[in-house]
Amino acid sequence: MRHGIRRVGICSVLAAGALALAPTAGAVNPTTATISFDCGLYGSGSATLTATQSGTSATINLSTSAITAPINVGANSVKSTLTLTNKGSGSVAFTGNANPAIPAGSPVSTGPLTGTVASGDSLEAKSLKVVVMGITATCNAKSAQTPGPFVF
């Protein structure tokens, strides 16, 4: 009997150790990053990106000083597409049309922008397209994302 108990005890300890070392599902790192965008005639400035993950679904909220609202903008009326490169090649688009009400002259906030990710994806923002009241502003990254790409 003692021999059987020892084997079960060792197996339990090994299983618990393996679980403790298993990667956490849905843990994007970093969760927040900054980047600078050039939006041509609409200006330039920095953006803060905040990412979350649930399985293969991810969301990014974005706030940027690169684009300001020309007039009061109602909630859920900004259509945005954030394009990110995956490990420097292929791209992934995060889209959405959710936003808080934005007073005239205030920076644009948008999100959650949703996209699909796979384990090991390493995504860095490259461009942002924002449509406000039928006016499209296209912004291109002019710096690397800091502290680095989102790793899912």
pLDDT digit string (tens) for 97-131? Answer: 999 999 999 998 899 999 999 999 999 999 999 99
What is the average pLDDT value for the chain, to the nearest integer? 86
Cβ atoms of residues 103 and 59 within 8 Å: no
Please name the residue that has the structure tokens 């449509």.
131
Provide, rounded to the nearest whole percent, the portion of the chain with pLDDT above 70: 83
Q: How far apart are CA 54 and CA 28, in angstroms?
A: 9
Q: How far apart are CA 62 and CA 32, in angstroms?
A: 10
- The per-residue pLDDT for range 56-84, each reduced to its tens digit, is 999 999 999 898 888 999 999 999 999 99
> Strand (E) positions, 1-148?
32-38, 44-54, 57-68, 78-86, 89-96, 107-116, 122-132, 135-141
Cβ atoms of residues 117 and 123 within 8 Å: yes
Higher pLDDT, 68 or 28: 28
Average pLDDT over residues 19-44: 79
Provide, rounded to the nearest whole percent, the portion of the chain with pLDDT above 90: 68
Please name the residue that has the structure tokens 């502003």.
137
**Can you give the length of the chain in residues?**
152
